[in-house]
Chain A
Amino acid sequence: MNKKTPYVLTLPLIAAFAIFIIYPLFKVFVDSFYHASFLNPFFRKFVGFENYNWLFTFKLFNPKVSYFLSAFWKSLIWVSGSVGIKVVIGTLGASLLNSGYLAGKKVYRTLVIVPWAIPWSMASMMWAWTLNSEFGVLNSLLMHLHVVDHPVTFLSLPTSAFIVTMIVDAWMGLPFMIIMILSGLQTIPESLYEAATIDGAGDLKKFFYITIPMIKPVLLTVTLLSTVWTFNSFDIIWILTKGGPMSATETLPIAIYKVAFLMTRFGGIGKASAMTIFQVAVVTIISIFYIRTLRKETES
C-alpha cells in the first residue's frame, strides 16, 4: 500500500471541509469586524468591535434587553423545552416500544419513524393546517372531546405560539430520539431485570435503577446531538410564525436570517456574522462535550 493513498482518498473530503466549512467559518469571523450589507456590495469598512457592541445595545421591541440577547434567551428556553420533551417522551416511548407487555411492537416501531422522513418544511405546513384555529383537526378533536368550548388560536398569541412551535419541533425530533434510545434499551441484558424481579423490585424501581443507568451513555449522546439540531432549527418557526407574533418566536437562527437578508437597512452581513459567531460558539461547545462522551464510550 502506498503511503499517499489515504490522502488521495480523503482529498475530496478535506477539500469539501476546507471550502465549505473552514473557509466560511473564517469568513464569518472576518466579516463580523466589517460593516457590509447586501444592499451595496461594494461598500465594506472595517469597524472593529462595533458589530459586537451593536449586539448588546441595539433594541427593537423590548426596551430592556437588546435584540440579540433577547433572541439568544428565547433560543435557550425554546431549545431546553423542546429537547426536554424529546428526552422525556423519547425515553418513555422507547421503553414502551421495548416492553414485553405491548402487542404489535413491529407496527408501532415502523410508524414511529414516519415523521423523520417528511421534509421539515412540509411537516410545518401540515402542522400549520392541523393547528388552524377554525378548521384544524386539533381544535376539532379538542372540541369533540369537550376539552375546550371555543377554538384555540394556537399561533396568534405570543406564549402559546412559543410553546406550540416547541412542541412541533419536538414532534420532528421524537422519531430519532425513540429509535436511538430503543436501540440502547435492546442492549440491556434480560437477566438484570430477572434478578431484580427475584429481589422483589417493582417496575418503577427497575426503571430508575436498571433502565436509566444502563442507557445513560446513549441518552447523553442523543441529548447533545438533539440539542445542537434544535438550536439550529429554522424551518418550523419560519413557516409557522416567521418569528411572530410580536417576535415571540424569534430565536437566534430566525434573527440571524432576518438581520442578514431582510433588515438590510439597519442589519447587514457584519452584524449577522457577529450573531453567527455566537451560534457557532454554542454548537462548538456542545460538540466538544459530544466528542468527549463518544470517546469515553468507546474506551470503556
Chain B
Amino acid sequence: MRGRMGKKIFYQIMALLLMAFLLLPIYQMVITALRPANLPWKSPMPLVPEKVTLTNFVTAFNIVPRLPRYLLNSFIYGIGVSVISLLVAIPAGHALARYHFRLRKPLMVFVIYANMFAPIMLLVPIYVIMKKFGLINTYLSVILSGSIFTIPLSTWLVTSYMQTIPRGIEEAALIDGCSDYSVITRIVIPMISPAMVSVFIYAFVTGWSQQFILALTLIKTDTLMPITQGLYQFFSRSSVRWNELMAAILMSTLVPVTMFLLVQRYIIKGLTSGSVKE
C-alpha cells in the first residue's frame, strides 16, 4: 500500500516537472506581459510579478501602431492557406478514398512524401518562380507557397476521415441520379464537416507558423508583413520592449491556441488513422 502511494507521488512529481519544462516560456510570457513596464528590471527577476497590470496590452499598440495591421495580414495569410488547402484537399481526398484509379497509389505515396517538405527546401526556386510571375510582395505569394506545405496533410486528413464513414449514402445518391460532382457538394461536404474544421484549423495554425520564413523572403513591404515579422518592431537597437512584446504575443497566440485545442482530437485521430493500403 505504501509502495502504491509512493509511486503516485513520484509520478505526480515527474508529470509536474514535464509540465514545468513545457510551460516555462508560456509562464515567462504571461508574467512579463502582466508586469508593469515602468517597474525596474531586477536580476534575478522575481518569479511572481510584484505588481500586475493590463496596461501593456494597450501600450503595445502605441509602440507598434501597425500591430492590428500585422494581425490582419497574418489572418489573411492563415485564412488564404486554409481555404486553398480545403479546396484542393476535399475533392482529392474524396477521390483517393472512394475511387480506384491508376494514379491513386502513386498519389498517396507522393502525398506522404510531400508532407515531409518544408519551406527551406524550396525557398530558392519558390522565390525565383514568384519573381517571374511578379508576385513578390503580394499576399498571393505567401498564400500560394504556404498552401503547398499544408495541402499534403490536409488531403491525408480528408482521405482518412472519409475511409471511416460508410459509402452507402453516396451510392444511394448516385443511383438516384446525382452526378459524381454534386455528390460532393450535397452529400460529402455535409458529412465530413468535422474533418473540414480540423483541416481548416490545422492549415491555419501551420500557415500562421510558416509565415515567418516565407514572409522573410517573399515580402518586402512593411504593410504586408505578418505579425511574426511585425513583432520585430519591439526590438530597437538599444533595447527590447519585452513587456509589450510578450503582451502582443499573448494576444496573437490566444486565438490559434484556443482553436487548436478545440480540434486537437480530430487532428490526432486523422494523424494516427489512415493507411497507404488499397
Contact = CB atoms under 8 A, between A and B. Distances in A.
Contacts of B122: 20-21, 24-25, 28
Interface in A72-125: 89, 92-93, 96-97, 99, 101-104, 108, 110-123, 125
Contact of A115 (B22, B95, B208, B272): B22
A136 B28 contact: yes
Question: Which of B120, B147, B205 has the most chain A CB atoms inside 10 A of its CB?
Answer: B120
Interface string B140-167: 0000110110010001000000000000
A143 B123 CA distance: 43
Contacts, number: 275
A191 B254 CA distance: 42
A144 B48 CA distance: 12
B180 interface: yes
Residue with the greatest number of chain B CB neighbours at <10 A, chosen from A103, A119, A229, A280: A119
B169 interface: no
A253 B120 contact: yes
A105 to B, nearest CB: 9
A195 interface: no
Interface string B41-70: 111111100000000000000000000000
Interface in B231-278: 231, 242, 245-246, 249, 252-253, 256-257, 259-261, 264, 268, 271-272, 275-277
A290 B131 CA distance: 34
A276 B32 CA distance: 40
B1 interface: no
A174 B20 CA distance: 13
B2 interface: no
Contacts of A212: none
| Residue among B15, B25, B217 with max Cβ neighbours from chain A (10 Å) | B25
B145 A143 contact: no
Contacts of A143: 44
Interface string B214-228: 000100000000001
Contact of B123 (A7, A138, A257, A298): A257
B24 A137 contact: yes
Interface string A192-231: 0000000000000000000000000000000001001100
A278 B35 CA distance: 47
Most buried by A among B14, B124, B174: B124
B209 A119 contact: yes
Contacts of A174: 22
Contacts of A119: 205, 208-209, 211-212, 228, 253, 256
Nearest to B32: A129
Contacts of B7: 101
A96 B14 contact: yes
A120 B45 contact: no
Nearest to A116: B260
Interface residues of A, number: 101
A219 to B, nearest CB: 13
A101 B212 contact: no
Nearest to B253: A118
Nearest to B206: A119
A140 to B, nearest CB: 4
Given A102-B15, A122-B231, A126-B249, A280 B121 contact: yes
Contacts of A19: 129
Contacts of B172: none
Interface stretch (A10-18, A45-53, A60-68): A10-18
A298 B24 contact: no
Contacts of A260: 123-124, 127
21 contacts: A3-B101, A6-B99, A9-B94, A10-B92, A10-B95, A19-B129, A21-B117, A21-B122, A24-B126, A96-B15, A103-B12, A112-B18, A117-B205, A119-B253, A137-B45, A180-B271, A232-B121, A235-B213, A256-B123, A273-B125, A298-B277
Interface of A: 1-3, 5-10, 12-14, 16-17, 19-21, 23-25, 27-28, 31, 41, 89, 92-93, 96-97, 99, 101-104, 108, 110-123, 125-127, 129-130, 134-141, 143-144, 151, 171, 174-175, 179-180, 183-184, 225, 228-229, 232, 234-235, 238, 253, 256-257, 260-261, 269, 272-273, 276, 279-280, 283-284, 286-287, 290-291, 294-295, 297-299
Given A21-B114, A135-B242, A184-B272, 20 more contacts: A6-B95, A6-B104, A13-B111, A20-B129, A28-B124, A92-B14, A103-B8, A112-B18, A113-B264, A119-B211, A126-B246, A129-B245, A129-B246, A135-B42, A135-B43, A140-B45, A180-B271, A232-B117, A257-B213, A299-B277
Interface of B: 4, 7-8, 11-12, 14-15, 18-19, 21-29, 31-32, 41-47, 87-89, 91-92, 94-96, 99, 101, 103-104, 107, 109-114, 116-129, 131, 144-145, 147-148, 151, 155, 174, 180-181, 184, 205, 208-209, 211-213, 217, 228, 231, 242, 245-246, 249, 252-253, 256-257, 259-261, 264, 268, 271-272, 275-277
